[in-house]
Amino acid sequence: MQKYFTSIIISTVFILFFINTNARSQDVPKDLYIAAGIPDSLKEDANSVVRYSMQDEAVKGPNDVVYKYHSVVTILNDKADNEAAISLPYNRKYSSINSFEMIIYDETGKMIKKYHKSDMYDHAVLDDETLVSDDRAMSIRHTIANYPETVEMIYEIDESSLMGIGAWEIEGEQQSVQNEYCHVSISGDAGFRYLNKNTNIKPQKTTDDKTDNYKWQVSNLKAIKIEDGAEGWRVYPEVEFGMNKFICYGFPGDFTSWQSFGKWIYNLNKDVCTLNPTRAAEIRKMTDTIKSDKDKAKFLYQYMQQSMRYVAVSLGIGGLKPFSADFVDQKKYGDCKALANYMYALLNAVNIKSYWAIIYRGTNASPANVDFPVYDFNHEILCIPFKNDTTWLECTGSTQPFGKLDLSTQNRNALLITEDGGKLINTPLSNADENQFNSEVHLAIDSDGSAKAQVKILSTGSYRDDYIELSYQKTDDQKEFLMRALNIKQPSVFDFKQGKDENGVKEVNLHLEYDKFCDIMAGNKQFYKARVFDLCAFTVPILDKRNSDYYYESPIKKTCVTTIDLPANYEIETLPANQNLKFTYGNYEVSYVYNAAKNQIISTAKFIIANQVIPAAKYAEMQQYLDAVAKAQNKKLVIRRKA
Band (pLDDT 50/70/90 cuts) for residue 593 is very high
Instruction: Give the distance, in angstroms, between the CA of residue 606 and the centroid of all CA atoms in the same chain.
Output: 28
pLDDT band at 112 (very low <50, low <70, confident <90, very high): very high
pLDDT at position 303, please?
97
The mean pLDDT of 301-305, rounded to a whole number, is 96
Alpha helices in 273-385 (DSSP H): 277-287, 293-307, 325-331, 336-349
CB 251 within 8 A of CB 202: no
DSSP 429-458: PP-GGGSEEEEEEEEEE-TTS-EEEEEEEE
Q: pLDDT grade, residue 388 (50/70/90)?
A: confident
User: For residue 13, what pLDDT is reported?
Assistant: 33
What is the reported pLDDT for 5?
A: 29
pTM: 0.89
Per-residue pLDDT for 368 more than 50?
A: yes
Per-residue pLDDT, averaged over 354-380, amounts to 95
Q: What angle do CA 410, 411, 413 make, to 5 degrees?
A: 105
> What are 415-439's pLDDT values in tens digits?
999 999 999 999 999 999 999 999 9
Residues of the chain with pLDDT > 90: what percent? 87
Calculate mean pLDDT across residues 74-95: 95
Nearest residue to 601 via CA among 643, 635, 558, 556: 635
Q: Would the pLDDT of 381 be above 90? A: yes
CA count, 13 A, side-chain hemisphere, 461:
21
Residue 97 vs residue 18, higher pLDDT: 97
- Cα–Cα distance, 128 to 311 (Å, whole number): 9
The Cβ of residue 442 has, within 10 Å, a number of other Cβ atoms equal to 16
Query: Has residue 102 got a pLDDT over 80?
Result: yes
Report the pLDDT value the prediction gives residue 129, as an integer from 0 to 100.
55
* Chain mean pLDDT for the chain: 92
> What's the pLDDT tens digit per position in 2-36?
333 223 323 333 333 343 333 344 479 999 999 99
Q: Give how far Cα 109 sits from Cα of 20, 103, 112, 219, 344, Å.
A: 25, 11, 9, 21, 60
Q: pLDDT of 193-202, one tens digit each?
A: 999 999 999 9
At residue 208 the predicted structure's pLDDT band, cuts being 50, 70 and 90, is very high
The more confidently predicted of residues 533 and 317 is 533
pLDDT, one tens digit per residue, over 488-514 is 999 999 999 989 999 999 999 999 999
Mean pLDDT computed over 281-292: 96
Is the bond leading into 148 cis (omega within 30 degrees of zero)? yes
The confidence score (pLDDT) of residue 8 equals 30
The backbone torsions φ and ψ at residue 422, rounded to the nearest 5 degrees and listed phi first, read -90, 150
Per-residue confidence (pLDDT) for residue 127, from 0 to 100: 58
Region 314-334: mean pLDDT is 84
CA dist 47 → 28, 44, 163, 174, 178 (Å)? 22, 9, 33, 6, 14
Query: Does residue 163 have a pLDDT over 60?
Result: yes
Based on the number of CB atoms within 10 Å of its own CB, is 125 exposed (0-12), middle (13-18) or buried (19 or more)? middle
Report the pLDDT value the prediction gives residue 435, as an integer from 0 to 100: 96
Looking from the CA of 543 toward its CB, the CA atoms found within 13 Å total: 19
- pLDDT at residue 128, rounded to an integer: 52
**HSE value, Cβ hemisphere, 13 Å, CA-based, for 299:** 17
pLDDT tens profile 127-149: 555 556 678 899 999 999 999 99
What is the C-alpha separation between 406 and 494, in angstroms, rounded? 30
Tell me what the mean pLDDT of segment 395-421 comes to: 94
